[in-house]
Amino acid sequence: RSGVLDIPFAPSRYNAGKMLPARDNEGAIRLFHVGNIPLTPELADFHKEKIEERAKQEKRKASFQMVIDDVYAISKGRLVGRPKN
């Protein structure tokens, strides 16, 4: 109920579903939205900075579109959903 344990996109009524992952520029999973997971502000900022690095490399804003692009990329056998130029 508190959202301390959260799994993205899990179809369970016990899952808060508030955290959202996105890949960083190296392909590591970062937290785009931390939801109710009790991270320190420093750790949450670290995740944000890593996603911002990717956004800068891709010349776009860090947004929910990155989450969508990454989910789609996985279905195509790619690690990171990069925009087409």
Distance, in Å, from the CA atom of 10 to the CA atom of 58, rounded to the nearest integer, reads: 28
Number of structural domains in the chain: 1
Range of the domain at 2: 1-85
C-alpha–C-alpha distance, residues 22 and 81, integer Å: 9
Could you tell me the CATH number of the domain that includes residue 73? Answer: 3.90.970.10
Q: Does the pLDDT value for residue 4 go beyond 70?
A: no
6 has pLDDT over 90: no
pLDDT band, very low/low/confident/very high, at 3 (cuts 50, 70, 90): low
Q: Which residue has the tokens 């420093």?
A: 42
Per-residue burial over 18-56, b if 16 or more Cβ lie within 10 Å, else e, is ebbbbbbbeeeebbbbbeebeeeeeeeeebbebbeebbe
Q: pLDDT digits over 26-82, tens only? A: 999 999 999 888 889 999 999 999 999 999 999 999 999 999 999 999 888 888 888
Position of tokens 């937290």? 31
pLDDT of amino acid 1: 58
pLDDT recorded at residue 35: 85
